Chain A
Amino acid sequence: MNFQFRPYSKLTFSLTIGLVLFYTSMIILIPILGLFIKTFEFGMSDLMNVFKEQRIQDALILSFGTSLIAAIINMILGFLFAWTLVRYKFPGKKIINSLIDLPFMLPTAVAGISLTSIYSNNGWIGSYFHNFGIQIAYTPIGIIIALVFVGFPFVVRSVQPVLEELPKELEESAYCLGATRFQTFYKIVLPYLIPSCLSGASMAFARGVGEYGSVVFISGNIPGKTEILPLLIITKLEQYEYTQATAIALLMLTLSFSIMLSLNFWQARRSRYLI
């Protein structure tokens, strides 16, 4: 066992770790473990039966599908923002740079109602699309738009620092050796940035699957069509269907934890190879 607490006294260390462990267990560890233990009470066959229900399967496909599409859009959009913000000087750059954090700050319910009213059939953008017969709000397209809103800052914020540290020499030497701009970008810059793009996009994906506030208004919540997983959990809870709610939650939790852990693991491994 490797303990080290110098220059502080052992007492300071013990008190601090005691207090932090107590609080963390009360607030986080016991509640999350409780969910897992609760699931074992139900038994495996009950849990598997839950996923046979058509409505839950539809919600699963919808939530994962829209989050995946949104994550891909986020990756492209986030890359565009990060690239432009790092590489170019233009008026309003600082304001745009701080505005990118807005989706992190804005309460999700506010984002939800505002996006809904913009994209509904008589909203600013929605009415324009309505003329062409495309409905955005209350369809999966609306869900994707809401998920792009909450997700793209993740990609920007994970690509930006990596891009800033990309050695200029790499590109210059590629250019000196006769590579075209496109080749330089495609063969030198892109491989360097892809890991950060992917990690940003998977954060956005994990957030997207669990997102509730900004999606619930624009989705319209038609069972089997635009009903997302988190909403289904709430619906099941309100009907006192605890088994079903817990089973769905467990599936989502396992997914997001494995994304988080594999990202941490991956980054720890990568940092060993990179300088």
Chain B
Amino acid sequence: MKPKESLLIKWSLVISVYLFCFLLLVLPLINVFMEAFADGLLAYWNAISQDHTLSAFLLTLKVALIAVPLNTIIGILAAFLLSRFIFPGKNILLTLIESPFAVSPVIAGLIFVLIFGREGWMRPVLNFLDWEIIFNTPGLVIATIFITFPFVTKELLPLMQSQGNEEEEAAILLNASFFKVFTKIIIPNIKWGLLYGIVLCNARAMGEFGAVSVISGHIRGKTNTLPLEVEILYNEYNSVGAFATASLLVLLSILTLIIKSILERKINTSTLEPSPNLTQDAK
């Protein structure tokens, strides 16, 4: 026996979801494009083809290109370490890896200013090397690495835990080298989850604002990433410029969202493939 679903309740709930979804999620997106095209196509094109925007775009790309691969490699290794081995302090390490999610981006920026800044404890070393980290590209890269570190591990860990290590064990018993096990078994098994983690990591790396804002010093054409450029243009009351630049970032996040939902389906189907030992834990 099943309680009868009330249609009135159902549709009032569904309609309120539609309404909030539109007000809260869709409207801000539409608004970005409306404001960006407020003065027509030509103004939009002029705004995004500015030198400053272009150099901000290149810098954003550069920062992501350094931070994302580094975090991906260590992220895979960390997920491998946490899912395949037992060692004391494992939970502490996991908490440590996840901790950037709990730290406000502004504080992440502050931490690095305290280390490398004017009164920081790395100051003597930096002076000796005649190298600037704060208000310079390396600072942006370090802050971005800090913020985006947990993404890959967080996606891979549950996946690798549920897959178990039978295949790897068999390969090692057959005398395969670690490199071979890694490239022929581990990576192919986790490829969709890995891609998913990388996409999320990249979206955050390109869109990061708070941490980067503390460190960059807002030098136009030099240390300004796209989100910071949006801020500067907005504060200059250059609405079309700000929203046109923002529209590029919106396109990036919509693309990420699409890739994400495609990958989610792939991960679900790949973990559903029948294998008797799949759910056994790696203990």
Which A residues have a C-beta under 8 Å from some C-beta of B? 1-5, 7-9, 12-13, 16-17, 19-21, 23-24, 27-29, 31-32, 34-35, 38, 77, 80-81, 83-85, 88, 90, 92, 94, 96, 98-103, 105-111, 113-115, 117-118, 123-125, 148-149, 152, 171-172, 175-176, 181, 184, 206, 209-213, 217, 230-231, 233-234, 237, 240, 242, 245-246, 249, 252-253, 256-257, 259-261, 264
Contacts and interface: CB of A to CB of B under 8 A. Distances in A.
A47 to B, nearest CB: 15
B242 interface: yes
B24 A148 contact: yes
A211 B250 CA distance: 19
B110 A233 contact: yes
Nearest to A92: B18
A237 B111 contact: no
B246 A110 contact: yes
Contact of A210 (B6, B96, B97, B104): B104
Interface of B: 1-3, 6, 10, 13-14, 16-18, 20-21, 23-29, 31-32, 35, 74, 77-78, 80-81, 84-88, 93, 95-107, 110-115, 118-119, 121, 142, 145-146, 149, 165, 168-169, 172-173, 178, 200, 203, 206-210, 213-214, 226-228, 230-231, 234, 239, 242-243, 246, 249-250, 253, 256-258, 260-261
The 8 closest A-B pairs by CB, nearest first: A210-B104, A107-B207, A213-B209, A212-B210, A4-B86, A105-B253, A230-B106, A114-B28
A38 B25 CA distance: 41
B105 A20 contact: no
Given A16-B81, A77-B20, A261 B95 contact: yes
A196 B255 CA distance: 30
A13 B83 CA distance: 12
B104 A209 contact: yes
A17 B274 CA distance: 32
B13 A80 contact: yes
B114 A242 contact: yes
B172 to A, nearest CB: 5
Contacts of B85: 3-5, 8, 13, 16-17
20 contacts: A16-B81, A19-B74, A24-B93, A24-B97, A31-B115, A102-B29, A107-B249, A114-B28, A114-B246, A172-B2, A175-B3, A210-B107, A212-B104, A217-B234, A237-B214, A252-B107, A256-B103, A260-B95, A260-B98, A260-B99
B3 A107 contact: no
Contacts of A213: 105, 209-210, 213, 227
A99 B146 contact: no
A205 B3 CA distance: 36
Classify the interface of chain A: helix, strand, loop or mixed.
Answer: helix
B209 A107 contact: yes
Q: Which of A106, A175, A240 has the most CB of B within 10 A?
A: A106
Contact of A184 (B3, B24, B74): B3
Given A7-B172, A7-B173, A117-B239, A80 B111 contact: no
A123 B38 CA distance: 13
Given A34-B121, A100-B25, A106-B207, 14 more contacts: A4-B85, A9-B178, A16-B80, A16-B81, A31-B111, A98-B260, A103-B25, A106-B250, A106-B253, A107-B227, A111-B28, A118-B27, A233-B107, A253-B107
